[in-house]
Amino acid sequence: MVATNVIALTAICAAAISNVNERLAVSDPAVALSRFVGYPFGAAEGKFRPNPRFWARDIDFSCASPWNSQGGATRAGTLISKRHIVFAKHFPLAPKTRLLFVGADGGVCPVRLMEYRGIPNTDIVIGLLDVEVTPNIHPAKILPPDAEKYLGTGEGLPVGTFNQKEEMYLAELNPLPTDGPRWSHTRCHVPKDSRWLPYRGRLIGGDSGNPAFLILGNQAVLLYCATGGWSGSGPGLHNYAREIQNAMDTLCPGYTLQTFDFHSSHAPPSKFNILRFIQTGV
């Protein structure tokens, strides 16, 4: 069984890295960093044009709000249910702030923040929207409690983080703790692969709160809302799943924080048969 798990972990990590490299091989970093063309011009009027050259254009990032009435391109909020968002406590959004979400088709969904609850002793805040988002906007998923079984420490896996220009920087995941206290920040570092370096970047003031995603095939798994600069860091949302769900229930019950299912049809596609390795080891 140990050998099976090692093979499965190797397959998943190799597939995730291979999928990113395949995208970068057909992308030009001079035009591929931004999610939208001409951003932020027109954003205040709800005009967004998806960038056909964005290096991660086949991944659904509709959960990531690119604009709000309080901070414009800053003070990001990320959707975690059809009526809940997560953002950074040290760079908060105020009640009555209007947020825009944008679907893969460019369709815009305007909503308004009603109230929020902070997670004690963290930089995490959960907010309630006035209405459910439209069907073209999809909430983010976080890592499941048993992610270690599939990812190990996750060291070196690709992480994409948006900045205030809606550019997605690429970094490598630092090892996640697999024993002992799990309350430390989730952190990233500068990529070692030279193919990734043109897509690296330094997060600066104003980027706080932007979402960082683990890239698995054509799926984006929300890791944290950025708190630290450089390659990025923040409180791992999977470490606080229970507290986040409790805050969601307090604000408006009936919505569930979603976790990524490694055994679903949404598992990362690649030349590796990942699920076969997990289940049989062959």
Mean pLDDT across the chain: 89
pLDDT confidence of residue 262: 84
User: Of 127, 104, 112, nearest to 225 (Cα)?
Assistant: 127
Q: Give the pLDDT band (50/70/90) at residue 183.
A: low
Q: Tell me the pLDDT tens digit for each residue of 113-131.
A: 999 999 999 999 999 999 9
pLDDT confidence of residue 279: 41
pLDDT confidence of residue 181: 62
- Tell me the domains of the chain and their CATH numbers: 2-280 (2.40.10.120)
Q: Which of 66-70, 116-120, 204-208, 269-273 is the least confident region?
A: 269-273
User: Of 133, 84, 76, 128, nearest to 107 (Cα)?
Assistant: 133
pLDDT confidence of residue 265: 41
Q: Which pairing describes strands 108-118 and 124-129: parallel, antiparallel, or unpaired?
A: antiparallel
Strands (E), the chain: 67-68, 78-79, 84-88, 98-102, 108-118, 124-129, 141-142, 158-162, 168-173, 185-189, 211-216, 219-225, 233-235
Q: Tell me the pLDDT tens digit for each residue of 52-63.
A: 999 999 999 999
Average pLDDT over residues 6-23: 80
Name the pTM for this structure.
0.91
Q: Give the pLDDT band (50/70/90) at residue 140.
A: very high
Higher per-residue confidence, 279 vs 80: 80
Average pLDDT over residues 133-158: 94
pLDDT confidence of residue 185: 85
pLDDT confidence of residue 244: 98
